[in-house]
Amino acid sequence: MSKPTYILGLSCYYHDAGAVLLKDGKVVFAAQEERYTRKKQDDRLPTDAIAKALDHAQITIDEVDAIGFYEKPMLKFFDRILSTYFKTWPLGLRQYQMAMQEWMHTKLWIPQHIEKDLGYKGKVFYVPHHESHAASSFYCSGFNDSAVVTVDGVGEWATTTIGYGNDKALDLKQEIHFPHSLGLLYSAVTYYIGFKVNSAEYKVMGLAPYGEPKYVNQFKELIEIKDDGSFALNMKYFSYEHGLRMTGKKIEKLFGEPTRKPESELTQFHKDIAASVQKVTEEAMLKICKHAKEICPSENLCLAGGVALNCVANGEILRSGLFKDIFIQPAAGDAGGALGVALSIWHKKFGGERLPKMNDVYWGTEYSDDDVETFLKNENLPYEKLDESQLIDTVSSLLEGENVIGWFQGRMEFGPRALGNRSIIADARNKENWQKVNLKIKFRESFRPFAPTVLEENVSEYFDLDRESPYMLLVADVQPDKRDMIPAVTHVDGSARIQTTSEKQNSKYYNLIKAFREKTGCAVIINTSFNVRGEPIVESPKDALNCFLNTHMDYLVMGNILMKKSDMPTNRVLQSADYLDKFELD
């Protein structure tokens, strides 16, 4: 038997660092560094995630055949970053000084850091940022051929690419370059509305349905979108080329309102701005995908890059009928670049074979019932251990009504979404659960919607969707006759961001919802990520317990172990809302 080939893909030093380990082209482990360091969107070299990956595979770093980095840092720094600062000189002086210090100390010496921190002395490959994004989607799609579109903030120079994948070949054919960026436009508006850039763009998407796109004409002053999907920003309204802010006085003058201060009141104006940028984003994405279809005549489309997490735009692309089938990389942001670079190396350097369409993203760490029991005994906390059938029966009954349950199972999901293994779940039929989970569990803004998880075979019964959506990346309308039935997951515009689940993908989660359906007649529950605002999704039993004890959650399930809040010692549970003080509010 020949020795297996191990490839380690890395993304780091910008935001959302991640590590992915392949064995003969198949993912054996993938995780973001933030889950272990508990620092949201941690950008450091993901040494903890790498250590977990090697431990899971039971190999040492010496057995890794290649390491791949998700972009070309020399090209990014010496070509794009320095030339941009010189172009905007002297406005970019401060940013130039900060960049020189940061890059000279860390980012230009990646091989040295890898050798020093990991003890790795083999070959390090560098794949361009958008090629990594494209590979992360196409090679996981199961498509023999596909148009491939990547859209994000910026990589080396590219901000948007159109490519074509055929069998093992993947070629990027057209690009749009920095500073013209759909992702940075969305981030600039995120900043203008008072949310955190590179972290809270999804809040703008969630806020948009509360507004009207009244400012689309003003946005035409900010961005020109041509029929072929190419676009250009009017850079006099943006300061990210030369400053530490995204926008300034000129955009405030254009819209007639100052930049919102974080945590201040959200007005109808902010909701209308959110609706307007969302409308413009959808228009641009549709035109880009239409052009991709013209130059890459395929029935299939692959999407990746941070903008591919805009599930409202994804839903519009699907409903346009441009493509018969669409695959969206669930880890579409920078963490997913670690997956893409590893797959690119597997196919282009090692000549590896294509594997079938990926079935799930449960690729992270896992804790056994014994691990959980040992931890809880050390904490001297009461719990009940059940067999799996008892657990499913008990928890499906507890879901009915107002109980909110932490659901911690199996291997941790890779990417930004909780998909049933690190989730907070509740009854979607109870409208009060929307506000309860937002304000008393997640400590987040009341306008934020919740995603439903629905049994795959029931998806069309509840939603205007005729296919699976396992990664919570498509928005569709709730069927009119079901909106009153599942109000806690029906957004203000009648839509929902849908996750389907099947027995093949996640049997325990599927069986829980199936049992809930048998008892209530409803095949839908609330699913939101197991964390509070400002905190990464929980990784370990310790993280899960902390979140459970310090929020108004009612039950915690870890494996087959059930914990009830009312059984917990009073000195260990939340007494007031001062838990908020522990976290950065973004």
Note the pLDDT tens digit of each residue in 34-44. Answer: 999 999 999 99
Residue 480: asked if its preceding bond is cis (omega within 30°), the reply is no
The pLDDT of 258-267, averaged and rounded, is 93
**pLDDT, greater one: 139 or 240:** 139
Distances (CA, A) of 273 to 161, 197, 241, 308, 494: 27, 16, 23, 20, 20
pLDDT digits (tens, 9 = 90+) for 406-420: 999 999 999 999 999
Helix, strand, coil content of the chain in percent (nearest 5): 40, 20, 40
The overall pTM is greater than 0.85 = yes
**Alpha carbons 159 and 468: distance in angstroms, whole number:** 29
**pLDDT, greater one: 350 or 13:** 350
Q: Which CATH number fits domain 6-132+337-348: 3.30.420.40, 3.20.20.70, 3.40.50.720, 3.10.620.30?
A: 3.30.420.40
Among the listed residues 278, 43, 301, 324, the one whose alpha carbon sits nearest the alpha carbon of residue 150:
301
Distances (CA, A) of 227 to 19, 283, 490, 497, 583: 38, 10, 34, 28, 44
Rounded to 10°, the helix 182-192/268-295 angle is 180
pLDDT class of 236 with cuts at 50, 70, 90: very high
Q: Are 290 and 321 in contact (CB under 8 A)?
A: no
Percent of the residues in the chain that have a pLDDT greater than 70, as a whole number: 91
Among the listed residues 324, 177, 179, the one whose alpha carbon sits nearest the alpha carbon of residue 243:
179
Q: Which of 106-110, 455-459, 475-479 is predicted least confidently?
A: 106-110
Distances (CA, A) of 439 to 7, 89, 109, 152, 453: 43, 46, 44, 31, 21
Q: Is the pLDDT of residue 75 over 70?
A: no
Among the listed residues 48, 13, 21, the one whose alpha carbon sits nearest the alpha carbon of residue 32:
48
Task: Quote the DSSP letter at residue 538.
Answer: P
| SS3 at position 196 | coil
Q: Is the pLDDT of residue 243 over 70?
A: no
pLDDT class of 9 with cuts at 50, 70, 90: very high
Q: Is the pLDDT of residue 106 over 80?
A: no
pLDDT class of 521 with cuts at 50, 70, 90: very high
Q: Is the pLDDT of residue 468 over 80?
A: yes
The pLDDT of 521-545, averaged and rounded, is 96
Q: Are 337 and 70 in contact (CB under 8 A)?
A: yes
Q: Which two three-digit tokens encode residue 268?
A: 């109808």
Return the pLDDT at 578.
45
Q: Which two three-digit tokens encode residue 484?
A: 């009153």
Residue 452: asked if its preceding bond is cis (omega within 30°), the reply is no
Task: Quote the DSSP letter at residue 352.
Answer: P
Return the pLDDT at 183.
96
Provide the residue ranges of all domains of the chain, joining segments of one domain with +.
6-132+337-348, 369-582
Q: Is the pLDDT of residue 237 over 80?
A: yes
Q: Is the pLDDT of residue 69 over 60?
A: yes
Question: On the CB side of 497, how many CA atoms lie within 13 Å of its CA?
Answer: 22
Q: Which of 54-58, 266-270, 368-372, 432-436 is predicted least confidently?
A: 432-436
| SS3 at position 4 | coil
Domains 6-132+337-348 and 369-582 share a fold: no
Dihedral sign computed on CA atoms, order 311, 135, 184, 158: negative
The pLDDT of 181-203, averaged and rounded, is 93
| SS3 at position 347 | helix
Angle at 345 between CA 303 and CA 60, to 5 degrees: 120
Q: Is the pLDDT of residue 483 over 70?
A: yes
pLDDT digits (tens, 9 = 90+) for 272-313: 999 999 999 999 999 999 999 999 989 999 999 999 999 999
Q: Is the pLDDT of residue 101 over 70?
A: no
Buried b (16+ CB within 10 A) or exposed e, 97-129: eebeeebeebbbebeebbeeebebeeebbbbbb
Return the pLDDT at 410.
98
Return phi, psi of residue 107, to 5°.
-80, -20
The pLDDT of 424-431, averaged and rounded, is 96
pLDDT class of 435 with cuts at 50, 70, 90: confident
**pLDDT, greater one: 435 or 316:** 316
Return the pLDDT at 333.
95
Longest dimension (CA), the chain: 69
The pLDDT of 15-38, averaged and rounded, is 97
Q: Which of 83-97, 155-169, 548-562 is predicted least confidently?
A: 83-97
Question: On the CB side of 504, how many CA atoms lie within 13 Å of its CA?
Answer: 7
Other Cβ atoms within 10 Å of 2 Cβ, number: 5
Superfamily of domain 369-582: Carbamoyltransferase, C-terminal domain (3.90.870.20)
Percent of the residues in the chain that have a pLDDT greater than 90, as a whole number: 81
The pLDDT of 322-338, averaged and rounded, is 97
DSSP secondary structure, 495-515, as one string:
EEEEEEE-TTT-HHHHHHHHH
What is the 3 state secondary structure string of 413-477? ECCCCCCCCEEEEEECCCCHHHHHHHHHHCCCCCCCCCEEEEEHHHHHHHECCCCCCCCCCEEEE
Return the pLDDT at 577.
43
Other Cβ atoms within 10 Å of 244 Cβ, number: 9
Q: Which of 124-138, 151-165, 228-242, 377-391 is predicted least confidently?
A: 228-242
Return the pLDDT at 117.
92
